[in-house]
Amino acid sequence: MKILVAIKPVPNPDERVKIRKDGSGVVLDNIKMVINPFCEIAVEEALRIREKRGGEVVILTIGPKESEQQVRTALAMGADRAILVETTKELDSLGVAKLMAKAVEQEKPDFVIMGKQAVDDDNNQVGQILAAILSQPQATFGSKIEFSEDGKKANVTREVDGGLETIGVTLPAVITTDLRLNEPRYASLPGIMKAKKKEMKVIPADSLGVDASLKVRVLFLAPPKERAGGRKVADVAELVDKLKNEAKVL
Amino acid sequence: MADILVVVEHQEGAFRKTTLSTISAAKVLAGLIGGEVDALVLGQGVRSVADTVAAHGVRGVLLGEGEVFARYLAVSYAPVVAQLVNEKGYGAVLAPASTFGKDFMPRLSGLLDAPLASDIVGFAKEGNSLRVQRPMYAGNAVATVELVGSPLLFTVRQTAFDPAPKADAKAPVTPVSVTADPGGTTFVGREETRSERPELTDARVVVSAGRGIKSPENFKLVEQLADLFQAAIGASRAAVDAGWAPNDWQVGQTGKIVAPELYFALGISGAIQHLAGMKDSKVIVAINKDEEAPIFQVADYGLVADLFKAVPDLIAELKKLKSA
Ligand SMILES: Cc1cc2nc3c(=O)[nH]c(=O)nc-3n(C[C@H](O)[C@H](O)[C@H](O)COP(=O)(O)OP(=O)(O)OC[C@H]3O[C@@H](n4cnc5c(N)ncnc54)[C@H](O)[C@@H]3O)c2cc1C
Ligand SMILES: Nc1ncnc2c1ncn2[C@@H]1O[C@H](COP(=O)(O)O)[C@@H](O)[C@H]1O
């Protein structure tokens, strides 16, 4: 199977990002960029499918040249080659999906897999938009993927509000990942060495003839309301007293 | 002014309250940009859902029924909504930011080439232009965004808008003739998390447990505390990953967003991703044996203690109080 995995670099999710004074964005100096955790899960899944069924895992990212670093990490995990659609322009989900669609048309993978959500913008949109543009089935929030013998269909178990749901999709399709799909491997040292020699095709976004002008424009960021937390109680008796007489929630 | 459409969420005929906050958001939007609010119910044998929605202050309810809608699928929902938007000229479409809305609304955005703002928490107007607020970076930033194009699409964070109350008048329910072709997508099955408890996102009290609870059996303790409040039960990702709690109990950036009157965090450290899902709760109680745990920074009442000692004590005290 030929699998296209879309990945996005994001600031390390374990660090609390700070907002620039002028609200124009977040402070990224000293924050490590990593592969979006949901995309890492997508890479892992693609590798496991290739290990079982054979084929090729192609990494796709859309963004500035610096994204190369995270792409190399995905290659070091074991992906075969990569495509970087290069642009320094700010993009929204529609723009990203339209550029991706061009890459999909060129590569014609059996399916595309990506994260359900990028943990920087928290949009949860790109996979579904791409599926719409390609007129393909979509299976979002996947926590289990099983293929039919002939590899033409997949049953995807999805994490939904009421529990778990399974849908069947005919390939080609777009699948997005949830946390419980797998636990991604680390890049091994030999993997890192090999990754340096793997093919990374750079395509200038402007060459794809896509109108990716912004339809959702972020004007500014502001910090959320701070909570006045931090108070401690000495014991259970004080806790109950406070809940009853101060917070009045009992 | 163009009108506004709310897509109603239901679980195969069981109305979900997520829609009521979405109606409120639609009304706030109507107040700013004009237009009337209609609702759309798609399903099979869902007249009662339409009747429920009709009683909550919308102008009208469109009811699209058919075998093909018996099971929700994004591939059949999105084109139908797109078709109705085009026919009737809606200027905005809203749906809850639940796994339902998050699934089909971006597909709609792709079909219509229309801007979508996810998980919105507020609207404002500056001069003639609409400003929309939505959290980013696990709630560490609130972005103000502007949408270009039409129709405007939104998924609405349930906790950010009060549920729309019952109205005096009942809106008319109008059948619409729609159909869909799910093509290569089929519904295979569902494993529902059954519970007598209120839904996490609607409950007045939520009791959540994390890795500190140590085993699935120990969730009994959580249940006992929850029983005293008719509370919903939540969990951290660590507890869900360990298989101690079902996936739809996960509270956080990538799980459910809750804002109850009272939230208990038991044996939860308070990672950024967990805080993103509960820090708008009115009162937060944290019980954790590590006094440095970040959960204490947001807790109104932090108790540094072993939860296996403190929670049974708490249950006993609360029972005493009840019987007093
Ligand atoms: C992409 C991504 C998305 C994520 N999304 C979410 C999300 O939606 N929701 C979420 O919750 N997490 C999410 N996480 C995970 C998050 O980063 C944390 O790993 C997780 O919240 C930790 O869970 P925890 O607090 O239960 O476990 P831990 O961090 O291990 O904390 C356990 C706590 O229990 C305390 N404890 C242990 N024993 C006792 C005892 N006997 N009595 C009292 N206290 C005790 C310990 O002191 C500790 O503070 C996400 C992570 C990533 C990367
Ligand atoms: N610039 C990008 N390049 C490659 N993939 C992306 C990009 N932006 C988003 N994605 C993919 O789309 C998923 C969902 O992102 P989002 O809709 O932004 O939350 C991510 O997990 C990525 O897999």
Render pLDDT for B85-104 as a digit per residue (tens, 0 to 9). Answer: 999 999 999 999 999 999 99
Number of A–B residue contacts, CB under 8 Å = 263
Residue B26 C-alpha from the chain's centroid: 15
Interface test with B, best of A26, A161, A225 (most B CBs within 10 A): A161
Q: What is the rounded end-to-end Cα distance, in angstroms, of chain B?
A: 58
pLDDT band at B194 (very low <50, low <70, confident <90, very high): confident
Query: How far away is chain B from the Cα of A120, in angstroms, using its nearest Cα?
Result: 5
A33 lines ligand 1 (CB under 6 A): no
ipTM of this model?
A: 0.98
- Separation CA B106–CA B109 (nearest Å): 5
pLDDT confidence of residue B79: 98
Q: Which residue's CA is minimally distant from atom 10 of ligand 2?
A: A8
Query: How far away is chain A from the Cα of B103, in angstroms, using its nearest Cα?
Result: 7
Q: Which of A119, A130, A230 sits opposite B296 (nearest CB)?
A: A230
> Which backbone phi and psi does B316 adopt, to 5 degrees?
-60, -45
Cβ separation A243–B285 shorter than 8 A: yes
Q: Which residues of B touch A248 (CB under 8 A)?
A: none
Tell me the pLDDT tens digit for each residue of B1-23.
799 999 999 999 999 999 999 99
3-state helix, strand, coil in chain A (%, to 5): 30, 30, 35
Cβ separation A119–B254 shorter than 8 A: yes
Return the structure tokens found at B42: 């798609």
A126 lines ligand 2 (CB under 6 A): yes
Q: Which residues of B touch A31 (CB under 8 A)?
A: none
Interface test with A, best of B18, B71, B75 (most A CBs within 10 A): B75
Tell me the pLDDT tens digit for each residue of B114-157.
999 999 999 999 999 999 999 999 999 999 999 999 999 999 99
Q: Strand runs (DSSP E) across chain B, as ranges?
A: 4-7, 10-11, 14-15, 37-43, 60-65, 92-96, 116-120, 122-126, 129-136, 141-147, 152-156, 173-175, 185-192, 205-209, 232-235, 262-266, 283-288, 301-304
Q: Is B11 left (phi over 0), alpha (psi -120 to 50) or beta?
A: beta
| B206 part of contact set with chain A, CB < 8 Å | no
Residue with tokens 């085993």: B215
| B106 part of contact set with chain A, CB < 8 Å | yes
Q: What distance in angstroms lies between residue B247's CA and the mean position of ligand 1's atoms?
A: 14
**Total residue count of chain A as it appears in this document:** 250
Cβ separation B237–A179 shorter than 8 A: yes
Q: Which of A214, A224, A237 sits opposite B139 (nearest CB)?
A: A224
Interhelix angle A93-107/B99-112, nearest 10 degrees: 70
The DSSP call for residue A138 is E
User: Are B42 and B178 a contacting pair, CB within 8 Å?
Assistant: yes
The B residues from 68 to 87 touching A (CB cutoff 8 Å) are 73-75, 78
Q: What distance in angstroms lies between residue A236's CA and the mean position of ligand 1's atoms?
A: 23
Note down pLDDT in tens along chain A; length 250 residues.
Answer: 999 999 999 999 999 899 999 999 999 988 999 999 999 999 999 999 999 999 999 999 999 999 999 999 999 999 999 999 999 999 999 999 999 999 999 999 999 999 999 999 999 999 999 999 999 999 999 999 999 999 999 999 999 999 999 999 999 999 999 999 999 999 999 999 999 999 999 999 999 999 999 999 999 999 999 898 999 999 999 999 999 999 999 9
Q: Which residues of A touch B253 (CB under 8 A)?
A: 119, 122
Cβ separation B141–A242 shorter than 8 A: no
Q: Which residues of B touch A93 (CB under 8 A)?
A: 106, 109, 116
pLDDT confidence of residue B193: 87
